[in-house]
Amino acid sequence: MVQVQLYDTTLRDGSQREGISFSVEDKLKIARKLAELGIHFIEGGWHGANPKDTEFFIKAQNLNLTNSVLVAFGSTKHPESKVEEDANLQALVNANTRVVTIVGKSWDLHVTQVLETTLANNLEMIAESIGYLKAKGLTVFFDAEHFFDGYKGNAEYALEVVKTAAKAGADCVVLCDTNGGSLPHQVASAIEAVRQKVTVPLGIHAHNDAELAVANSLIAVQTGVTQVQGTINGYGERCGNANLCSIIPNLKLKLGINCLSDEQLTRLNEVSHYVAEIANLIPDNHLPYVGMSAFTHKAGLHVSGLLKWEESYHHVNPELVGNHPKVVVSELSGKGNILYKAKERGLTLSVDKKQIQQILEQVKLLESKGFQYEGAEASFELLLRRAQSNYQPPFELIDFMVVVERHRRPSRDQSQEELLAEATVKVKVADQVMHTAAEGNGPVNALDQALRKALLLSYPNLAAVKLIDYKVRILEESLGTASQVRVLIESTDGQEQWRTVGSSTNIIDASWLALADSLEYWLLKQAEKERKAY
């Protein structure tokens, strides 16, 4: 069976993405997580290039990376220096890793125009640098930078670079598509040419500028490459690097290459989101395999098929990569979506097909009015519950009024006008009508305070519920201030989070609908927990 080594460069190449700046502690945390996943080689950074990377390699000596190997990155020696005096090579040795990766030029134009030396001198630099590091007892990987562009422009020289590195003792020569513009058939053709010249193990390092980094990595493996370099979530400069979160499951589940154990593969989704969180980036929900939407279904036809046969619209079992299937409800839904979501949320619909159709029509009608249940599943669950003939809401709205005034009373700073928002709410709990008023720093906050004030007398535990996100979207921009708006509210009780939605041409009304749903949903869940406890 083909053996493929996974080489992660998130801590170096991945950190070159705009907006990412890993601290030393961030890098140590990610390295541990990559080791848990089972990555064979973890590139820590360019030792000596900056204080942060230097500190990382010092602290990384205490990391327990199990079967993973930490790698230090650098380049071949300077054109004018001697290997034993070259600062970069000395920094690599001082990184105290048993594996190092050095990058060297393989595109003739880069040698003459960027490195500003001769083609012959570049070959000497490669040979001397690898030879020096090998003499220090290190395992050396050689990154042939811009190899595929170099092969297109001067195949003879690009191949000579690979042969030189192999002859000098490189343990693996990694062919780099540094500009990310190569096509899969070009990658395969170049690798076949290399394999005719050398027997040294080959690697692939692809960038995603033509959105082919994953495809190029996979065809490289099929052409004989045994080391694949990439980053978690495809992070990297410009358009990013080859995404290991796609490459790994494709290798294991599609090509049958056992690069990770089954148990390690189930951690892929977790690692993807962990690294995104450390990088302070919003996870891309639409990433293959690990995105929250990777196995999400919206079309009624798809959901109907899933109910009959789970594999009908999944190319792999989501659980294999630590993900799970998801169905959303929208105007594109069918009856199957309703039944699937009810089952998913533990609800048994005591309705016939005609009533399910009525629920579906209600969803479509509400979505035409601006509601959207894809990101507000708490509101959708309430819609299902309210369709039951025996449903008893924990409270009912009778009416509310919100007043916003300016100059009602002087502010401390006389140069600033003060805005006062006051809400009056009348709700019914059981047989008791609660009539309360409250002020807030805005109309929605005042409404929230008044509603809570009315309900806390009957439901004191409601004080645990907090609003943590509030989003407003204008749906018909051409209508200006008369536009339909959608309000999405996210709430928490400190343990769980849920989202609710409201829509109206009146932003206060839309906010009320979302706010009332949020509190009603929590009260229902609490009542269920109490019943189960007894």
Please tell me the least confidently modeled range out of 162-171, 302-311, 388-397: 302-311
Q: How confident is the model at residue 331 (pLDDT cuts 50, 70, 90)?
A: very low
Ranges 148-152, 224-228, 383-387, 469-473: which has the least confidence: 383-387
374 token code pair: 């894809």
Q: What percent of the chain has pLDDT over 70?
A: 82
Cβ atoms of residues 73 and 54 within 8 Å: no
Based on the fold, state whether residues 402 and 533 are members of the same structural domain: no
Does 403 lie in the same domain as 325?
no
| Assigned domain for 284 exists | no
Q: Are 371 and 382 in contact (CB under 8 A)?
A: no
Q: Is residue 477 situated within a structural domain?
A: yes
Question: E-strand spans in 264-395?
Answer: 296-297, 326-327
488, 471 contact by CB (below 8 A): yes
Domain assignment of residue 213, given as a range: 5-278
Model pLDDT for residues 412-468, shown as the tens digit of each residue: 555 556 678 899 999 999 888 989 999 988 888 898 899 999 999 899 999 999 988
327 and 470 together in one domain: no
Q: Could you report the per-residue pLDDT of 279-292, keeping only the tens digit for each?
A: 988 889 899 999 87
Q: Are residues 404 and 507 in the same domain?
A: no
pLDDT (tens digit per residue) in 183-202? 999 999 999 999 999 999 99
Domain boundary among 442, 458, 474: 458
pLDDT of 104 > 50? The answer is yes
Model confidence, pTM: 0.70
Q: Judging by beta carbons within 10 Å of its beta carbon (0-12, 13-18, 19+), is residue 117 exposed, middle or buried?
A: middle
- Same-domain status, 56 and 177: yes
Report residue 37 as tokens. 């996943």
CATH number at residue 75: 3.20.20.70
User: Rounded to an integer, what distance in angstroms lies between the CA atom of residue 428 and that of residue 98?
Assistant: 72
The whole-number pLDDT of residue 235 equals 98
In this structure, the answer to whether residues 358 and 481 fall within a common structural domain is no
